[in-house]
Amino acid sequence: MELPPYRVPTLRSIVKHVSFRTGLYFKKIGGVILLASIIVWLLSNFPRNINYSKDYKGEIAKIESSRQLPEQQREDQISKLQSEQRSEKQSESFMGMIGRSVAPVMKPLGFDWRLSVSIISGLAAKEVVVSTLGVLFQTDSRYEKSSLVEKIQTQKTDSGVQLFSPLIAFSFMLFILTYFPCIGVISAIKRESGSWKWAAFIVVYTTGIAWLLSFSVYQIGSLFTS
C-alpha cells in the first residue's frame, strides 16, 4: 500500500489544528456540563423547607450584633455557622438523599456522599465531576474568603475525617479514571455492537474494576497511614 510522505509539522499547522479541535470539544461538551451543573444545583438546593438542628439565623444575628467579640472572631464564628448550615442543607436536599443512598457502597473506598454524588454525575461526562464539586462546595458568603481549592482541601466528613486526604484523593482519581467514560460512549458501543448486552457489560465491568482498584488502594494505604 502506498503511504503519503511524512513531514515535520509546522508551528502554524499545529496551532491551527489544536485550536480547531479544542473549539469542537468545547462546543460538544460545554452544553452537557452547563446542563448537568444546573441539575446538580437544583437537586442540592431543594427542597427549600428544611428543619435545621439549630436556629442558624438567630445565632448569626446574635453574633453580628455583639460588640464584645473582636471583628475577626465574629467573622470566623459566623463563617463556621454558615458552613454548618450549608452542609446540613445539602445533606437534607434531594442530592443528599441520592448521595446517602449510595454512600454505603462507596464508604469502603473512603468516599462520603458528596464524592459519591459527583461520581454519579460523571455519567453524563467525566468533566461534570469537577463542576459538581464546584456546586457542592460553592462559596456564597461575604465572610468566606477561601477559594474553591482551599474549601475542598479543608472539608471534613460528618465523622470529622478530612474529606480529601492524599490517600482518598488518589483513590478518588483512580476510580474516576477507571470507570466507564460516559453515556455517549456506552451509546456508541451499543450502536457499533448492535446489542445492549455489550454496553451493559462495559458498564458493570469497568465500574467493578474501578471499585476494586480504589478499594485496594484505600484499604492497603490506610494500614500505613493510620
* pLDDT tens readout for residues 165-215: 889 989 999 999 999 878 778 888 888 888 889 889 998 999 999 999 999
User: Is the domain of 89 the same as that of 193?
Assistant: no
Buried b (16+ CB within 10 A) or exposed e, 41-72: bebbeeeeeeeeeeebeeebeebeeeeeeeee
Rounded Cα distance, 114 and 90, in Å: 9
Domain count, the chain: 2
Is 0.85 topped by the overall pTM? no
Query: Which of 131, 120, 136, 132 is CA-nearest to residue 179?
Result: 120
Residue 64's Cβ-side half-sphere holds a number of Cα atoms within 13 Å equal to 11
- Give the pLDDT confidence of 102-119 residue by residue, as tens digits: 888 998 998 888 888 888
Instruction: Indicate whether 4 belongs to any domain.
Output: no
pLDDT band at 15 (very low <50, low <70, confident <90, very high): very high
- Beta carbons of 103 and 120 less than 8 angstroms apart: no
14 falls within a domain = no
Containing structural domain, residue 185: 165-226
- State the cell numbers at 153: 482541601
Instruction: Determine the pLDDT at residue 133.
Output: 82
With cut-offs at 50, 70 and 90, classify the pLDDT of residue 142. low
